[in-house]
Amino acid sequence: MRNGVPFGEPITVELNVEPPVGTTDFGPEIELTLSPNPTDNGVWIRWESSESIAAAVLYDLTGRKVHQFEQLWSNDFLPLSLSPGIYQLVFSVGRGRYSRRVIVR
């Protein structure tokens, strides 16, 4: 007997597994571009959809939120006054979330 269960007896175990951060709730791929990228002071956002982007959040490589944009449309300019580096821009469009890398020189 071990842990109150006789050897050879089946036991039931409930296991809850959380997916890694950054890989959940992402929608189907859409054609979304940022230009210029790399950039010095901001990027133009363009995509093929009639939906607006409800929110876009910019993160640095440590996962710290550095900027948030609300209600964006295709051909909007996102001004960026950031230290040189690599950032991740996460968009919420409809029921999906999308991510793009932004390089600041």
Contact 81, 87 (CB under 8 A): no
Within-domain flag for 3: no
pLDDT at 44 over 80: yes
Cα separations (Å) of 92 from 25, 71, 86, 89, 96?
10, 10, 20, 10, 6
Within-domain flag for 60: yes
Within-domain flag for 13: no
- Residue 93 CB neighbour total at 10 angstroms: 19
Number of independent structural domains in the chain: 1
Within-domain flag for 17: no
Q: What are phi and psi of 15, to 5 degrees?
A: -125, 120
pLDDT of residue 23: 40
- Residue 7 tokens read as 């050897």
- Chain-centroid distance of CA 32 in Å reads 13
Question: Which whole number is the average pLDDT over 17-42?
Answer: 69
Within-domain flag for 18: no
CATH code of the domain containing 68: 2.60.40.1930
Question: Which whole number is the average pLDDT over 17-38?
Answer: 64
Interval 47-97: pLDDT, tens: 877 777 878 999 999 999 999 998 888 888 999 999 999 999 998 877 778
Within-domain flag for 70: yes
Within-domain flag for 67: yes
